[in-house]
Structure 1
C-alpha cells in the first residue's frame, strides 16, 4: 500500500532544525524540503523523465521561496510534464536565457559596438559617442538586457531628453542607440531593431538660423575653450582658424595648400556657392596655425585632410562635434555661426565699413552704380581689417583665460 504523505505546514518548514546528516521533509507530488547540516532549507522536486529516469528540479531556498511559492512551482512543472515537455529541460533553458540576458545588457553590447567602431571613426567622433552614451543612454538603458528594451521604453526616455530642450542630443542619442541595437541584431541577440519604429514619434530639431554669439565676453570664452581642445590636431587647427577667417565651413574643409600664398598672406579660391573668385587675407595668427597644420597634413593636397584617408577632407561634422565635446551647445554656437559673429562685432564693436565686411563674407556687394565689386576691391582695407579682427579675438581670448 503506497505511503500517504501529509502536506507540510508553514510552521513545520519554519521550525525544521539541522541534523548531523541531510534529511527530507515531503510535501507531496514529488516536492520536498532538503534540510542540510549547515541549516540550509532547499526546495526540490523529484519527477520521472521521459526516458524513465528520475529527474530533480531545484526551486530555490527557504525563506526566499515560501511553501506556497514552492507548491506553485511544483504545479507548473506538473503541467509542463502533462503537456509532453520535460520541466528539467525547460528549467535549464530558462537558466541559460537568464544568464544570456545578464550578459547581454545594453551597456555590454554598446561597449562591444564602441570597440568595433574604434578602428573606423576618428578619435574625436568616438569621444563624442562616448559622451552621449554616458550622459543619455547608459543611465537609462545600461543595465537592461537588449532583448528587454521595447519601443515604449525608448519613447519614454527620448521624450524626457526632449523635455530638457536638448533636441539635437536626443536625435544623436537615438541614432547611436539604433546603431547599438542593430549590432545586437547582427549578433543574433534580438530579431528586430526597435528604434526605427519610434523615430517618427519624436521631435525633429529645427535648425533655421545658425546659432552664434554676438557678446564679446561669450565669444572670448568660446575661443578660450577651443584652445583647450585635445582631440585630433587637424580639427583643432581648423576650429582655431575658423573665427579668424569666418568662411563657410565647407570652404575651410576643402582648402588646398596650392591656394595659400604665404608671401602675400592670402588665400585665393573660388566660392562654390556663387562660383565667384574670393580672397581671404591671412593675419599672422592664421599663418602660424597653417604652419602648425603643415606638420600634420604633410604632403597632402588638402590643408585639413581626414583622419584615416588623407586624400579626402575631414568629416563635415567634425568641428561641430568638437564644439559639443567642449561643452558648447548647439543653441549657443555653431561653426557657421562664426560668420554672423564676425559680421556683428566688426560692425558694432570695431566700426568697420559695411562694404568691407560683406565683401569679406563673400557676399555680393555693389557700388553706387549697381556694379558688383571684383575680388580685389578694397583688398588693402580688408587686409587691415582682418589683422585688426585677429588682434581683437586674441584680446577676448586672453581676457577669458585670465578670468578662468
Structure 2
C-alpha cells in the first residue's frame, strides 16, 4: 500500500533569480494546499521547517486548527509576521516583540489556547476581556487585546477565519493616574543634593527635567549626537536589548539651552557616561538615586506617584502652563516625540530657529533648577 507523505518539498526559482524551497501539504481530507515558501534554499533546513509545522498541527483542516497551534512561534524572528514587518520597513523593537510574547503567554493562551480558531466569536472575546479585567490592569488588558487582534487578523489573511471577532470591540477605559508633580523648587533641591554619586546621573536628571525626554532616550544618547543647542535623538537604550529605535520609531532633534554646556561634559562614547567605564549611566541607577534623594528631602514619591518618567509629565505641564500657552503645543509635541497628529508631522519640518519660545523657557527653567 502506498503511503502518502503529509507534505511535499520542491525547489522554485523566483523572478529575482533566487531559488527557494516551497512546500505543499495535504489536510485530513487529502486536499492539497497552495504552495508556501520555507524561506530557505537548503533542503535539510526546508525539511526541518515542514516537520516543525507538521508537529504543530498546522497541516490540519482550518476548522480544526487550535488557537495555540496557529499562535505558536507567531512572534519568532523567522515567522511570517516578523519577516513581513522587516520587509515593509516597520520591524518592531526587540523589547516590543518580547512584550508581545509575554502578553500571548500570560493573558491570551490561558484563555484561548485550546479553542479552535473557527469557534472564537465576538461573544467569546467579550468573555475573555471580562476575564482579563479580574486578573490585570486595563492597560495590560488593552495591550493583550491589540496582540490578539494582530494574530486573528493574520488568521483571516490566511483564510482560516472569515472575520476578526474583536475588530469592532472597544478597548477598556483607562483611568488617568493622579500625580502630584515635582515643583521647580523641589527640582532645585534634588539637583543640588550631594547624594547623586556619579555626576553623569545628576546631568541626566537635569536633562530629563528641561527636555521631557524619555529616560531610555537620555541614557542611549551618544556623544556625537550632542550639539551646543540641540540633541539628535535617534535611539532608546533598553537594559536588556541595548540600543533600539525610539518609541515612535521617529528620529527628532531636541533643543537645549547653550548654558547647559552638555557637549563639553560628554564621555568618550556616551553623553552620560560612567566615570570609570566607557559605558552609559543606567536608567535604574538614575531612578534609584532619585528615589533616595526624595526620601532624604522628605518628598513622598510613592504617595505622589513620582518616578523618573514624572519629569516628562512635569516638563510638558510646565511648558503648556507658560505664558506661551497652547500656541506652542505642536512644538512641544515635536520636542517630546509624541506620535499623534501624524499627518501634521508628515508635512512639518522643524528647524532650530523655529523654537525661540522653547529655548527661552528652557533657559529660565535651567537657571531656576541650578542656581544656588
Which TM-score applies when normalising by structure 2? 0.42
Q: Higher Cα Rg: structure 1 or 2?
A: 1
Which TM-score applies when normalising by structure 1? 0.39
